[in-house]
Amino acid sequence: MSVRLTFLDLRGPAPLPMSQPPAHTLVALGNFDGVHRAHKVLIREAVAMTRALAETEGYHVSPGAFCFIRPTLDYKMSPTGFTPVLVRGHLTTLRDKLILFARSGLEFACLCNFPDVRDLPPEEFVSLLRDDCHCIGVACGFNYFFGKGASGNTSHLLEAFGRDHVFVQPEMTLDGMTVSSSRIRACLEQGDTETAERMLGRPYSLDTNVVHGKRLGRTLGFPTANQYFPAERAIPSRGVYAVLCHTPYGVFPGVSNVGIRPTTDSHGRVNCETHIIGMTGDLYGRRIRVEFLSKLRDEQKFNGVEELVEAIRRDAENAVAVATARGLI
């Protein structure tokens, strides 16, 4: 079975296609949703291994990532077979991953479609890494499985590449909890953005263009920037959050409502509506990043506009206090 692989060079300002992989590589294996703290340790060890191997082997070894264009989470069994489905809950887009890979020191990424390798025997998957990716070593998590029926595991990789050419990232825990993408999703569902941030190693964020809303915030004295979550992204539990906003005009504290604005629009689509504190300027159509710092309260319906305005005023004060206490402003 032929497996189509796409190689991207991550060493420039933007990923660029490569006609073929580097001559000698060591790849980090995984879905890497979130590129969280455990992923970063794995990637850091992979980069360190390439430097050590270069000294012992006498040639440059390029560190890279082998992952799927759509994560395994996106594929489910259906009556018509193994097909892609829309699954909300991703912590990062593919674009986000590539940016984070590059920042972590990886030189390239190898992408493929999960169905193309799902039913490969473990030995064939290893051959794919060796022959098509030019791998002389790999790095993966302790719970990495591959091949038909998930029958391949770290034992296959150790046997194929040798103990000195394989790094297996052990389980990482934080306050007794395993650091994992699924755990981070659960934290976001509970509105616990602080724990999610500690596991990610950065705040969970929304990085999209600002769209036109109903301009209700402006009429209330609190203009807002409206953003929608991409269809596949995880959405924090509905409520009001202290946030940090990265805009073309600088970085500002803010307060975001994630929900449907129950006081003024009870049938709307869930969005992120952010009042950016201290910023003036037009953001329509421009990209901003909103980092979720702390949940201030649940979404609620007020008995009128006056109550809503007073609540927003308190929320803004609390958001500034959160950002100030964390030394962000």
pLDDT tens, position by position, 31-90: 999 999 999 999 999 999 999 999 998 999 999 999 999 888 777 666 556 566 666 789
If you average pLDDT over residues 1-15, what whole number do you get? 92
Q: Whole-angstrom Cα distance, residue 281 to residue 305?
A: 25
The percent of residues above 70 in pLDDT, for the chain, comes to 92
* Residue 279: predicted pLDDT: 95
What are the domain boundaries of the chain?
6-170, 202-325
Report whether pLDDT(263) > 50: no
The residues pairing with 138 across neighbouring beta strands, listed in sequence order, are: 27, 166
pLDDT tens, position by position, 91-122: 999 999 999 999 999 999 999 999 899 999 99
| pTM (two decimals) | 0.90
Which two structure tokens, joined as six digits, stand for 124?
A: 């064939």
**Which superfamily does 6-170 belong to?**
HUPs (3.40.50.620)
Average pLDDT, the chain: 92
The residues pairing with 142 across neighbouring beta strands, listed in sequence order, are: none
* Residue 213: predicted pLDDT: 75
The owner of tokens 């909890």 is 177
Helices (H) and strands (E) in the chain, counts: 10, 17
Q: Which fold has domain 202-325?
A: Elongation Factor Tu (Ef-tu); domain 3 (2.40.30)
Residue 2: Cβ within 10 Å count:
6
Angle between helix axes 181-189 and 193-200 (nearest 10 degrees) is 160
